[in-house]
Structure 1
């Protein structure tokens, strides 16, 4: 009798252990725990497009996951502060983050940045948008078209200051590409806390031109506060149909910011599946898509696997452009 009881106890203990091993913290189908929120880290200041997108997604994500999703802004160093926080967070599903490229892709590629993370620190969960870049000037600017601006800067290098959201960010790479394709060398002014700071500087006429994303200036255009000289995309943006592309004006320059969501590497497979499924539903929710459109953001969903592939492709592209960007740093 004693032997039978002992065997039964071992069997029960083994079964319980196996069950617990399938779940983070031994709580298999119980993730997320009731009352425990998920933190969504945004590496830029409130008001930026990446922040706006995260706040649109969060309520639907809450509904799908069955727990609160709290957006936490950690701006600075061109996104590096927030990405560091995300990479160092516990991989239990209770911390995820908005990841935008090229910032999250490039920062670990350049040793001088001192990034405390690598590509392997992140697990891509899904991509949400592609946001084309542009160049804009004040309505009363002496530059009436892109050619006039480019030719003026070619004649006098670094004579026009332009915004970026930090060293080696999308805007910085776009400027390097413009220099390579047109010969025009602008003087970048880096606002590492994000687009909101860059826009404030532009509106205050502290810089000569604005380089940023379509979503950043959609409202400014309608308010007559900026004149877009060129959009860096193959076709005109549906959000700025009157703004010509660089290609239309003879300059083969294309650049865009990709924005998605990632978790710290090491996330348990079952939790990953739950978050990816919830993210897909949230990103593709008709109400979310409509709100994103109102913000000037076109939804281009990619699964975690496809986002991972896209991320890898971007690494190759940015590695090739990095030497030129380094030379363009100021």
Structure 2
């Protein structure tokens, strides 16, 4: 494939640099591709996009090839995840997806997602970010009791936004409505970025976001959290009580993880998984994630696969129930 002679020294140096990181990917390299495409199936500005871009330079360093983050939003992440499921399993296309969103997409028969858990190769679970119920800084709502009272007085017209149908935010909202005996006017958005814009612009009155997603706006004083959807208070939101402490036993959050297409050769999976683990565990990445208020909860391929299978078992009855009731649209 070379068009002109090169010195033996130059070729030797390049071979030594490329071999440790790229040996398992020879098939792809033979076709001239030397870039890893990291698909984020959400718009820019949300927690997944931020997390992917925080890790990409470190992953690039570990692999020795460029890592390009590509946003492929649409249909609650279905478009981007389907793209990865259809990709060649050569180790040069992976996704940074969101769970339970990925699982609920294919469990909902009305979505016709075009993929299942078996359509992917698990690589690494990166972080699990607990949810929080937030309002604008100037909102009169100071607690879940205030919010439930407002929703009850508004007769199904209290506007609660989420990042997409059947994401952890939507499922947490459904559970809260059932526990409190109220009904929100649930407004679905295609990712956290648009949902944040809607809340700050007054189009919705409350929202559920992962703590890391909303932390920047809260630090700037634009939003307030009134409840954390975790077993304990978040160290990133000191003084904000849990929903459980306010009488509503709801635990929810966004799990972010890396997958490739099914059929990836074991040596390619191992190379990518190893590079991801090393990148995730670097002190500089741990510090960056702390700054983003996103806790790292790393699991390797086997641990992530077990987590995913268990999540699927737990969610299947609920999604089937919601689908029968027409609440998955």
TM over 0.5: yes
Alpha-carbon offset, residue 233 of structure 1: 0.3
Q: Which 10-residue stretch deviates more, 198-207 or 55-64?
A: 55-64
Structure 1's 324 and 145: CA in aligned 2 closer, same or farther, altered over 3 A?
Answer: farther
Deviation of 1:28 (Å): 5.0
- 2:204 aligns to what SS in structure 1? coil
Q: Which residue of 2 aligns with 1:281?
A: 278
- 1:107 correspondence with 2:105: yes
Q: After the TM superposition, which of the residue ranges 128-137 and 139-148 deviates more from structure 2?
A: 139-148
Deviant stretches of 4+, over 3 Å: 27-35, 154-157, 323-330
Match of 2:264 among 241, 262, 267: 267
For 2:117 and 2:301, the matched residues in 1 are separated by 15
Which structure 2 segments of 5+ residues have no match? 1-22
> Quick one: distance in 2 between partners of 1:218 and 1:144?
18
Partner in structure 1 of residue 160 of structure 2? 162
The equivalent residue for 1:15 is none
Number of the residue aligned with 1:231: 228
The corresponding residue for 2:13 is none
Q: Deviations over 1:178-221 (max 9, x none)?
A: 123222322211111x1010000111000111211101211221
1:206 alignment counterpart: 203
The answer as to whether partners of 1:102 and 1:169 remain within 8 angstroms in 2 is yes
Q: In structure 1, the residue corresponding to 2:186 is in which secondary structure?
A: strand
Which string of whole-angstrom CA distances, capped at 9 and with x for unpartnered residues, describes residues 206-255 of structure 1? 01112111012112212221121101001111111121111111211110
| Largest Rg, 1 or 2 | 1
Residue 94 of structure 2 corresponds to 96
What SS does the aligned partner of 2:216 have?
helix
- The TM-score normalised by the length of structure 1 is 0.87
CA RMSD of aligned residues (A): 1.7
Q: Would you say the 8 A contact 2:72–2:80 is kept in 1? A: yes
Aligned to 2:132: 134
1:178-217 alignment runs, 5 A limit: 178-192=176-190, 194-217=191-214
CA separation of 1:151/1:329 partners in 2, compared to 1, >3 Å: closer, same or farther? farther
Decide whether the 8 Å contact of 2:27 with 2:90 is kept in 1.
Answer: no
| Worse-superposed segment, 151-160 or 267-276 | 151-160
Alignment match, 1:242: 239
* Matched-pair contact (CA < 8 Å) for 1:280–1:303: yes
- Structure 1: which 5+ residue stretches go unaligned? 1-26
**2:25 touches 2:91 (CA, 8 Å); kept in 1?**
no
Q: Is the 8 A contact 2:107 2:320 kept in 1?
A: no
Q: Are the aligned partners of 1:96 and 1:262 in contact in 2 as well (CA < 8 Å)? A: yes
Displacement after TM superposition at 1:135 (Å): 0.9
- For residue 83 of structure 1, report the CA deviation from its aligned partner: 0.4
| Contact 1:143 1:149 (8 Å CA) reproduced | yes
Check 1:329–1:30 CA distance in 2 against 1; reply closer, same or farther (3 A cut). closer
Cα deviation code 1:4-54 (max 9, x no counterpart): xxxxxxxxxxxxxxxxxxxxxxx7574773861111110001111111111
1:157 Cα deviation after fit: 4.4
How many aligned positions are there? 303
**Contact conserved, 1:31 with 1:271, CA < 8 A, in 2?**
no
